[in-house]
Amino acid sequence: MATYLDTILAAHRAAAGRDERDLHGLIERAQALPPTRGFAVALRGSDRLAVISEIKRRSPSKGDLFPDLDPAELARTYERGGASCLSVLTDREFFGGSVDDLRAARGACGLPVLRKDFTVDPRDVADARLMGADAVLLIVAALDDAELKHLHQLATHLGLDALVEVHDEHELDRAAAAGATLIGVNQRDLTTFTVDRDLAAKLRPAMPEGAVTVAESGVRHRQDAEALRTAGYDAVLVGESLVTSADPAAAVEDLRI
């Protein structure tokens, strides 16, 4: 039986296969853009735990979270609460997001923005830069070693930071081999969507020296953030608990340990 990840990746790879746009032309346009805001740098800019606040309308496992959110308003709210960066879902079919959400959010604040999507093709990387993102997500479980290295190199070439996401120690080794310096541990299993809230702490000692480290998923409240800060993480990426909060700005501030 196909998993969530299998289904999502099949859809994205099929779309990439139909994309006949000239990659060289996209890269040339991306290279001509002004510098990005510096996603990784922003996560090291404080002596407190950095918070990457997510703009997310729905999820495949939970359904609608905040389908009618205003991305610009939410971005300003997160910034007011002390978020270091934003993460914006641009996948429409499975998460209800869009490129317009990213553009609106980035235009409304001064924070660096991650394009949160399933990157499977060089055009996806170029598109991230062209839509205004400052960073792109590379999921190790979704890519083979050659793809991971190539997409990471292209992101760097275009001035994007690449958040390389892992789920176990083998994937962490693959991320390091690809040259990743910004690494996220997603505590959500993308095949079942279950969360292991101890996973990030378990993997932290194996992180490459000097890497900017991010814990993703399962961060619900201050105690979770404290545990991840104690484990040595630079940042947490938080979506559901912030999007559904009655006071997102206060919720962000509460996580900044």
Nearest to 237 by CA among 116, 120, 124, 131: 116
As annotated, the active-site residues are 54, 56, 116, 165, 186, 216-217
- β partners of residue 186: 216
Nearest to 60 by CA among 118, 138, 114: 118
Nearest to 135 by CA among 113, 105, 165: 113
What is the C-alpha to C-alpha distance for residues 162 and 137, in angstroms, rounded to an integer? 6
Are 165 and 137 in contact by the 8 Å Cβ rule? The answer is: yes
Q: Tokens 């994937």, residue?
A: 171
